[in-house]
Chains A and B, each alone.
Chain A
Amino acid sequence: MSPTPADRLRQRASALRALARTLHGLKLLTLSTVAGPHTWVGPSPQACSDDLDARRRLMFQAADELRREAARFERIAADLDARHAVAGLG
């Protein structure tokens, strides 16, 4: 049996949540702990530290956005399931 549109949406939501989890656990996010003033100082080290901090924030934002999108897909899938059930009863 081929997947229904609701099933496909749930699969996409699952993939987005998996990516969000991956982003949340990236080693990139902890790089700033070894790229700080205990390792090096100067204009470039400062720029590196600032860049890594900024990417950390952006990664968290991207993960949050992925989770929101996944939740939206799941709500749509639930609506589709409900309509389908109503149509079957009719």
Chain B
Amino acid sequence: MGLLAYDPEQVAVLRAALRNALDELRRVACADPAAASAMHLVRSSASQLESVWLPLTNRLLATDPLAVGQRRNAGIGSLQQSLIKVMADGYGWSVQADPLGDDAALVSAQEARALGARLNDVDPRSFSGDQATQDWVAGQLLLIAADPNLTAQFLANFHEWASLSNWLGWAHLLHSGGDPSQSDPAAAARIEQVMAGLAAIQWRAVSAGGSDIASAEQVIPQLDEMQPYAAALLASRMPLAGDALVAVTVELLQRYLDQPMTPGSDGPWGDKDFDTGPNTADLLLPLILCDQYTTVAYVHAAVARNPLLLFATANDQSLQQRAMVVAADPRWTTDPEAGDLLITLLRGFAGGADADQAIDISAYGFDPDWHSFLGALLAPWLLEFTALPETWGLSLDERNELLAFVLEDDAAMETLLARSHAIVDGIAADIDAHKPADADAAAGVLSAVLQLFVNEATLTAQIGKNQWDLMWTLAGVLLGALAGGPASGVAIDTATLIGSDVAERYEWFGAPDVTGATLNALVARQAVFAGAAAAVAASTTRQLISQGVLPEGTPPPPPANLGLVNPDAAYNTAFRGWKLRNGIQLGSPAGDRLDTMVYAFVGAAIVAEHAAEKGADLNL
């Protein structure tokens, strides 16, 4: 049972027309058998008018319309009765009970207009908690959105986008974790359906315009009055992608940062008013992260607009971190783009010389444990931060400072360890790009990174197992990359000689202690270089034998003895002795090749410098 609204005078006109039509139908006659079907239609029509539509008009005209109280009791205030209410309140029509109920699967133009009008002044607080009505409205909105005419009818009357969306957004926040006592995923999903209906209608109107979307104002109505969370809820239900999604996202995140706290306790509150639950970014970033190129574009747009967008807008900060890691991934970005991002972020975190560049993430209450994230960003670009001569316009000193800033934390070390594949990939990419990757470059990388560890060990007077592990792992991956490089053509069995059995070497060095920290670091560096030299010597010798430069049966070079006081200097001596014993002359093809490779790691100057440093430390 529903309601119907009517203009009594017009119904009287209708009744007279029905009577005239009925009289006319009764007079129609034709006995020809060929007219049987037509005459059947005539008689059935007469019967329908006589038994159904005339009695209905008679009843309406003979019965008193519902009084105001009766209308209210009959539910005229519900959104489902929008059209009846609009005609009764707006046009003074009478209202009576209708023997039929409404078919929710059909929406007329009048119903679309009426729903638009009613949604303007519906009590948004009660609507945001009325699940049955939300279901009905969501269905009606989708039906309206599917039809251009219905969409136009709806939009002709509906204009309270901000008010309705803000209340729905507030309810969505409450049910999505903003208030744990009201957490209700089903209720949140129901609100999302309503927003999806509104978004579909708006999107039909926007897309009909045909212009490219370059700003949030183009897709979000009443943007200045709409809370960013509500706007994000709406935008997230639109088929935005690529640059359009990036533009809308960056704009809404900036509005999130700029929005004031909601005064008073009546609501609707925005996401910034809640300590828990999702924020604007939590709604939009999952869409951004669906596509790597969109992700890269988003991160760079955010850095250009305001780097804080990347740190101060999401409740789940891992979303932003994932975006930044993708944006720094060599597979999806270019060298200069990655440089812009990394320099901006690292300078921001490190504080730098220019305080204006600092990123004070702690001001926004987020987990300050960002070292491991920075380690992940940095992993593919380790060579750029250590051995390559010209990188992103940074001096080697600043690169070392920034790298040391990241690696001061064990968590960053762990991340680098976990991402050793990314380090290898990054170095391999540099080799492919014909950047320096010969023995000198690899030794330079080792030297630069290990020097950082030594410095760090000295500064903090403690060395964790992770740093030791990373030291060995780095040695392995760098030499592994060297093996694939065009400059050497050397196949190095680093797994056997260096990269494996890290734990055993860690045991050999003993547990780190405060007083011996610096010494241990220096000894470790010598050991890494000795091991690397031994690996290079062995593999180069095998290669020279296979090429016929050295005779078959040439004994392998000596292994590194890591237990000696100065293992790199000892390997230099042992290597020279091995060459002498096997007749490998200075200046010969084999001698030159071996010297080039091995002395990059344990050359006389290098081992002397290492020993001197250690000696200086020992004298402290």
Contacts and interface: CB of A to CB of B under 8 A. Distances in A.
Given A26-B21, A27-B24, A65-B38, A43 B100 contact: yes
Contacts of A18: 30
A40 B25 CA distance: 24
Contacts of B93: 40
Q: Which of B13, B28, B30, B101 has the most CB of A within 10 A?
A: B30
Nearest to B18: A31
Interface string B88-106: 0000010000111111001
Interface in A11-51: 12, 15-16, 18-20, 22-23, 26-28, 30-31, 34-35, 37-48, 51
A79 to B, nearest CB: 18
Contact of B21 (A27, A42, A58, A66): A27
A41 B7 CA distance: 9
A77 interface: no
A26 B93 CA distance: 30
B35 A40 contact: no
A45 B4 CA distance: 7
A42 B35 contact: no
B84 A42 contact: yes
Given A22-B28, A41-B5, A69-B34, A34 B10 contact: yes
B6 interface: yes
B98 A43 contact: yes
B226 interface: no
Contacts of A52: 53
Contact of B14 (A37, A39, A43, A46): A39
Interface residues of A, number: 38
A23 to B, nearest CB: 6
Contacts of A43: 2, 4, 98, 100-103
Interface stretch (B40-48, B297-305, B472-480): B40-48
Given A12-B34, A16-B32, A27-B20, A41 B41 contact: no
A55 interface: yes
A43 B427 CA distance: 72
B13 A55 contact: no
B6 A45 contact: yes
Contacts of B11: 39-40
A47 B100 contact: yes
A59 B21 CA distance: 13
B83 interface: yes
Interface of A: 12, 15-16, 18-20, 22-23, 26-28, 30-31, 34-35, 37-48, 51-52, 55, 58-59, 62-63, 65-66, 69, 73
Top-10 shortest CB links A-B: A42-B4, A40-B6, A43-B100, A39-B10, A62-B38, A27-B21, A19-B30, A28-B21, A42-B98, A37-B110
24 contacts: A12-B32, A16-B34, A19-B32, A19-B39, A23-B42, A28-B21, A28-B24, A28-B25, A38-B7, A39-B6, A39-B7, A39-B14, A40-B5, A40-B11, A40-B60, A41-B6, A41-B87, A43-B101, A46-B103, A46-B108, A51-B52, A55-B48, A58-B41, A66-B35
